[in-house]
Structure 1
Amino acid sequence: MRILHTSDWHVGRTFHGRDLLGDQEAVLSGLADLVAEECVDVVVLAGDLYDRAVPSGEAVEMCMRVLSRIREAGAQLVVTPGNHDSAARVGAFAEFAAAGGLHLRTRIARLHEPVLLPDEHGQVAFYGIPYLEPDPARHALRARADVPGAGEVAERGHTAVLTEAMNRIRADLAGRDARSVVLAHAFVTGGERGDSERTIAVGGVEQVPGSVFDGVDYVALGHLHGPQRLAEHLRYSGSPLAYSFSEAAQRKSVWLVDFDAAGLAEVRRRELPVPRRLATVEGRLAELLSAPEYAEYEDCYLSATLTDEVRPLEAMRRLQERFPHAVHLEWRPEGGRATSPLRYAEAVRGRDDRELAARFVADCRGAEPNESERELLDRALREVAR
């Protein structure tokens, strides 16, 4: 059996205000071509199908088109929700979807019930652990006599609820003659996070040890957006697109996981296309707008740091004349600010309204207002007084 491991699609996400649905559909539709090319049997998606609990209609329609293309290419799908998803919404009509090859594993109380898919060596059991928010999950995981390996979750935190979930999965697996795959959405110790993952910390602790997942053939992890190998059988696929400038250097990819009669046989990495590169530049605005060495960034999503001593006027508009996909701008003058910021009480002591307004302009822009600007401030203050 050949499995494609992906996660963190975040369908419907924007990038600094830019709509990414077109980019997302281009990359995710390419997974169907990869399924056909590599003869993939099962695609597993380990959480964060959508970027928000209530996705837009356009996001849902696009996601359905992509899932349909993957199914038509010949693969079945197993999907679990992440911390961005609404498990109830993702799992709607799960029984009907399963008949068409889309297996939605969204219910905490049933996480020990696998999707059983056959190959020439027997069965592979796919267990989906939806994102477990610790306190609600503790109640959902209350011990039940009909659940093998079930126990009460006495402790709080991510490790406790994931340990209980895995105890139930291992107990069920012990009664089956099957190889195993677990999908989980969590922050496992040793993983490297970026800037675009929403924190799942509870009480300051969000990481869980990799040993929690011992006893299964392969663990398809989601949540961290960079592709990572924590152990041969324990991996993050990462997100299919970069969702922050901290991910600019990442090579987005999926894992192709091969099972033989004994279990995990081989894992290969396949890189995904990049619809638009991310780039960061730094310098004075005039230099960025004219220097030929920046031409290579004209079609990139761009983050610019301006080093002009005085904050340039209409900097983003001017920047976008050359770099139409500039989306982020910072002003960091060379050598830092001339004066250190004062506490509020010190900043206002002994100053009248005219001085305070002028000081505000200077702090924001890095230069004192000129005479015409001071006249405008005086006029505004007179209007307020009148």
Structure 2
Amino acid sequence: MRLLHTSDWHIGRTLHGTDLLAEQEQVLSGLADVVTAERVDAVLVAGDVYDRAVPSADATAVLDRVVGRLLRAGAQVVLTPGNHDSARRLGTFSGLLAAAGLHVRAATAALDEPVLLADEHGEVAVYGLPYLEPEVARHELGLTGGRSHEAVLTAAMDRVRADLFLRPGARSVVLAHAFVGGGMPSDSERDICVGGVDLVPAPVFDGVDYVALGHLHRPQTLSPRLRYSGSPLAYSFGEAGQQKQAWLVELDGAGLSGVRPVPLPTPRPLSVLTGELDELLADPAHAAAEEHFVSARLTDAVRPTDPMRRLQARFAHCVHLEWSGTAAAGDGRSYQERLRGRGDLEIAGEFVDHVRGAAMTRAERELLARALGAADRAEVLR
């Protein structure tokens, strides 16, 4: 049995306001080629299928096309909702979809009812745990105490192990969306901390052959049988240069027999450029970044005029800009201290100086004074 472990598709996510649907569809549709080349029996999606609970029509259309390609390539698909998804919406028509090979495991009450796959060695029971919000899931699971992720996932896994006990000889796989101890987060995940307790110890998942984890966007191995696949695309500049992948999981008659990474393509790489604006615009060393998504950190002593437009003239996909010049640092005073005893012109003038990193000229100050005076007169007339 061959399974392709993926997670955190986040269909509909943007990068600093830039639409990524085309890049997402390109990468996710390419999974169908992996299914064909590697003879994959099932594709697993461990949560955060969409980026928001109410996805756009365009995002749902991308999922429809991607899943259709995977099914036509010969794989079944098992997916679960993550903390970004609406479990109830994602689970709509799940009974009908299962007949076509798409198994949406979104109901907490049914988390111990596996998708049953079969090969020459017998059954493989695939349990999909939807993201379990502790305050909600503890009631659905009948817990009287325990308000942590550890508590609800322990109860869920107890149910899984009880069902597995009734299936002698069956190999087992669990999909779960959680922050498991030993995992390394990125800066693009949404916090799932509840009451200060979000970490789930790895032993909670003991007793199954493989655990396909989702939530953390960096691919990583916590143990041979406990892994994060990571997101298929980089969703923050903190992930620039990171090789995205899926895990190809192989099960033989005895259980887990091997796991190996399957690198995923990068439709448009991410680059972080640091330097003065004129240097970034002229340096030939940045030629490759002209086709990348770019985050620029400007170090000019004075904030340049219209920097984003000028950057995009060379780097068409520059989507983020910050200025870290010497004048950008604060002076240590509180907001109240900076305003005390000052008039409108002085306050507005200091704001302009701070934002630009250079003092206004006399002509600019006179223009600002006239504008403030006109605003005051208009207010009196009202």
TM-score where L is the length of structure 2? 0.96
**Aligned residue-pair number:** 376
TM-score where L is the length of structure 1? 0.95
The answer on 1:188 being equivalent to 2:184 is no
Which of the numbers 231, 234, 257 marks the counterpart of 1:265? Answer: 257
Q: Which residue number in structure 2 is paired with residue 33 of structure 1?
A: 33
Structure-2 separation of matches of 1:114 and 1:136: 22
Q: Which runs of 4+ in 1 moved over 4 A?
A: none
Q: Which residue number in structure 1 is paired with residue 140 of structure 2?
A: 140
- Aligned in 2, Cα 1:384/1:336: closer, same or farther, shift over 3 Å? closer
Structure-1 separation of matches of 2:375 and 2:328: 34
Structure-2 separation of matches of 1:12 and 1:79: 17
Amino acid at match of 2:125: A
Q: Which residue number in structure 2 is paired with residue 250 of structure 1?
A: 242
- Aligned in 2, Cα 1:153/1:236: closer, same or farther, shift over 3 Å? farther
Q: Which residue number in structure 1 is paired with residue 362 of structure 2?
A: 371
Matches for 1:236-247 after TM superposition, within 5 Å: 236-247=228-239
Task: Work out whether residues 328 and 357 of structure 2, in 8 Å CA contact, stay in contact via their aligned partners in 1.
Answer: no
Structure-2 separation of matches of 1:77 and 1:311: 51
Which of the numbers 347, 350, 354 marks the counterpart of 1:359? Answer: 350
Structure-2 separation of matches of 1:351 and 1:335: 21
Q: Which residue number in structure 1 is paired with residue 319 of structure 2?
A: 327
Structure-1 separation of matches of 2:292 and 2:331: 35
- Aligned in 2, Cα 1:280/1:73: closer, same or farther, shift over 3 Å? same
- Aligned in 2, Cα 1:175/1:112: closer, same or farther, shift over 3 Å? same
Structure-1 separation of matches of 2:336 and 2:2: 66
Render the CA deviation track for 1:128-156: whole Å, top value 9, x for unaligned.
100000010011112xxxxxxxxx35211
Task: Work out whether residues 153 and 164 of structure 1, in 8 Å CA contact, stay in contact via their aligned partners in 2.
Answer: no
Render the CA deviation track for 1:302-321: whole Å, top value 9, x for unaligned.
00111111111111111100
Give how far 1:355 is off: 1.8
Matches for 1:11-22 after TM superposition, within 5 Å: 11-22=11-22
Q: Which residue number in structure 1 is paired with residue 380 of structure 2?
A: none
Match of 2:187, SS? coil
Task: Work out whether residues 193 and 225 of structure 1, in 8 Å CA contact, stay in contact via their aligned partners in 2.
Answer: yes
Q: Report the aligned-residue RMSD.
A: 1.1
Q: Which residue number in structure 1 is paired with residue 86 of structure 2?
A: 86
Structure-1 separation of matches of 2:340 and 2:14: 44
Amino acid at match of 2:21: L
Render the CA deviation track for 1:231-270: whole Å, top value 9, x for unaligned.
0000000000000011113210000000000000000101
Which of the numbers 207, 228, 231 marks the counterpart of 2:220? Answer: 228
Q: Which residue number in structure 2 is paired with residue 3 of structure 1?
A: 3
Structure-1 separation of matches of 2:321 and 2:106: 40
Amino acid at match of 2:93: F
Give how far 1:293 is off: 1.4
Q: Which residue number in structure 2 is paired with residue 172 of structure 1?
A: 163
Q: Which residue number in structure 2 is paired with residue 121 of structure 1?
A: 121
Which of the numbers 273, 279, 285 marks the counterpart of 1:281? Answer: 273
Task: Work out whether residues 153 and 161 of structure 1, in 8 Å CA contact, stay in contact via their aligned partners in 2.
Answer: no
Give how far 1:385 is off: 2.7
Task: Work out whether residues 185 and 217 of structure 2, in 8 Å CA contact, stay in contact via their aligned partners in 1.
Answer: yes
The answer on 1:344 being equivalent to 2:358 is no
Structure-1 separation of matches of 2:105 and 2:342: 64
Structure-2 separation of matches of 1:264 and 1:383: 76
Matches for 1:152-163 after TM superposition, within 5 Å: 152-163=143-154
Structure-2 separation of matches of 1:134 and 1:253: 30
- Aligned in 2, Cα 1:135/1:350: closer, same or farther, shift over 3 Å? closer
Render the CA deviation track for 1:315-370: whole Å, top value 9, x for unaligned.
11111000000000000014864x61422332223333222221111111111111
Give how far 1:381 is off: 1.7
Give how far 1:291 is off: 1.6
Match of 1:378, SS? helix
Match of 2:159, SS? helix
Task: Work out whether residues 302 and 327 of structure 2, in 8 Å CA contact, stay in contact via their aligned partners in 1.
Answer: no
Structure-1 separation of matches of 2:205 and 2:328: 48
Q: Which residue number in structure 1 is paired with residue 374 of structure 2?
A: 383
Task: Work out whether residues 111 and 169 of structure 1, in 8 Å CA contact, stay in contact via their aligned partners in 2.
Answer: yes
Task: Work out whether residues 41 and 74 of structure 2, in 8 Å CA contact, stay in contact via their aligned partners in 1.
Answer: yes
Gaps spanning 5+ residues in structure 2: where? Answer: 378-382
Structure-1 separation of matches of 2:272 and 2:220: 24
Render the CA deviation track for 1:218-238: whole Å, top value 9, x for unaligned.
000000001010000000000
Percent identical across equivalent pairs? Answer: 60
Structure-2 separation of matches of 1:232 and 1:55: 34
Amino acid at match of 2:50: Y
